[in-house]
Amino acid sequence: MRLSDFITQHADRIVDEWEQFAKTITPAAEFLDRVALRDHAKAILLAAARDMAKPQSASEQMAKARGEGPEKTPSLDKAGASHGELRHTVGFDLVQMTSEFRHLRACVIRLWVDSLESPDMAYFQDMIRFNEAIDEALAESTAAYAEQVNRSRDIFLAILGHDLRAPLQAVSMSTELLMRKTSLEGDALTCANSIKRGTRHMAAMVNDLLELVRSRLGKSLPIDPAPTDLAAVAQAAIAQACAGNPECDPTLKVAGNMQGVWDAARLSQLLQNLIGNALQHGSTKGAVTVTLNGEPDAVHLAVHNYGEPIAEKDIGTIFDPLVRSADEELGHPSTSLGLGLFIVKEVVDAHGGTVEVSSSETDGTLFTVMLPRKV
């Protein structure tokens, strides 16, 4: 009997063995009922049998062995992906989930070989096709499992970031109240200012973390566009960015019409991240220039500083999340999680604009943003 026919006729027997094996995966399977233990096993087997029954050329087989097609099997992929998601939900780890497929493969081959009376060469081809089908299901299960792991991590980070806001706000407000109600001098005043700056930096890091998680969970950054004066936003952003940096004195240059329909809070966030980045990496704290140039259909925003240039190999990944510059990795002080420029890119994308960066020792580092006047 050909393997695809054997699987179809003996699917229930094979799934019974799957169930018995799944029971041994403790503690995750300890409280699972029969339906949960057998989850998607029969669907995976029958989809594999249908795939094996389809004609397949030698070139198609070679391509499939390399994971290149010709086509996936929708029913097999759906069953495999659903199995991966549910095994993650009930507490299986990745090794335990993949062990089910290893056992399934061995079980099917053993039962089938035992049933054969006179094997011929076609049967070896059947084994290859079956292995291909199981590998495809395993790949989909693993990918779906990994996606659930990533989502669980992002949800945890979102909860963590949200819950950190309350104690940070309490520390910040208590420090402000202390400085207003009490005449602090000397070391006491220095300590209070340090706490104030520290909580501001921590709040910025928490906000960056939440924006990262939000973008991963929701795919895009939410914005609330309204008529906005970009010059006023820039002035406020500079003041905010410099609140914890007494030596900060950026130059603001404005030319043309600064009116547009944008999310003012998001643009302030963008500007604060770019200015903060320039202050952190610039050779001279005050030598930061913010330029706004209004054109008929768009406004161009640029932030420039002199200092150590960005390495050419880092330019391509500088807007990726959790990317830190080489000097930060070597231990230079930083108040960043490596999310600031990622958030800049997300804000720009949400507004339908573009952002570019150029950097050299002679000309300094320049971030240029183009924002259409209407989203």
Of 218, 246, 265, which residue sits at a domain end?
Answer: 218
Hey, what amino acid is at 165? R
How confident is the model at residue 285, as a pLDDT?
Answer: 55
CATH number at residue 358: 3.30.565.10
Indicate the burial class of 280 (C-beta count within 10 angstroms; 0-12, 13-18, 19 or more). Answer: buried
Of 218, 234, 267, which residue sits at a domain end?
Answer: 218
Nearest partner of 211 among 167, 263, 259, 148, judged by Cα: 263
- DSSP 8-state code for residue 70: S
User: Pairing between strand 298-305 and 354-360?
Assistant: unpaired
How confident is the model at residue 254, as a pLDDT?
Answer: 96
Question: Are residue 298 and residue 196 in the same domain, yes or no?
Answer: no
How confident is the model at residue 328, as a pLDDT?
Answer: 47
Question: Are residue 186 and residue 134 in the same domain, yes or no?
Answer: no
Question: Are residue 272 and residue 337 in the same domain, yes or no?
Answer: yes
Average pLDDT across each block of 10 residues of the chain; the chain has 375 residues. List them in order.
88 92 87 89 88 77 61 76 84 84 86 79 75 80 79 68 72 84 85 85 79 65 88 90 71 95 92 86 77 95 91 82 51 51 88 94 93 88
Question: Are residue 116 and residue 22 in the same domain, yes or no?
Answer: yes
How confident is the model at residue 334, as a pLDDT?
Answer: 44
- DSSP 8-state code for residue 135: H
Question: Are residue 122 and residue 240 in the same domain, yes or no?
Answer: no
Question: Are residue 38 and residue 66 in the same domain, yes or no?
Answer: yes
- For residue 91, count other CB atoms closer than 10 A to its CB: 14
Q: State the Cα–Cα distance between residues 50 and 43, nearest whole angstrom.
A: 11
- For residue 7, count other CB atoms closer than 10 A to its CB: 24
What is the number of structural domains in the chain?
Answer: 3
Q: State the Cα–Cα distance between residues 296 and 275, nearest whole angstrom.
A: 26
Question: Are residue 27 and residue 136 in the same domain, yes or no?
Answer: yes
Instruction: Assess contact for 51 and 129: CB atoms under 8 A.
Output: yes
Question: Are residue 181 and residue 236 in the same domain, yes or no?
Answer: no
Question: Are residue 174 and residue 91 in the same domain, yes or no?
Answer: no
Q: In what order do the strands lie in the sheet with 251-255?
A: 251-255, 288-294, 298-305, 364-372, 354-360
CATH number at residue 79: 1.10.490
Q: State the Cα–Cα distance between residues 318 and 324, nearest whole angstrom.
A: 8
Question: Are residue 249 and residue 309 in the same domain, yes or no?
Answer: yes
Of 153, 175, 196, which residue sits at a domain end?
Answer: 153
Question: Are residue 239 and residue 339 in the same domain, yes or no?
Answer: yes
Question: Are residue 239 and residue 314 in the same domain, yes or no?
Answer: yes
* Residue 52 DSSP SS3: helix
Range of the domain at 257: 226-372
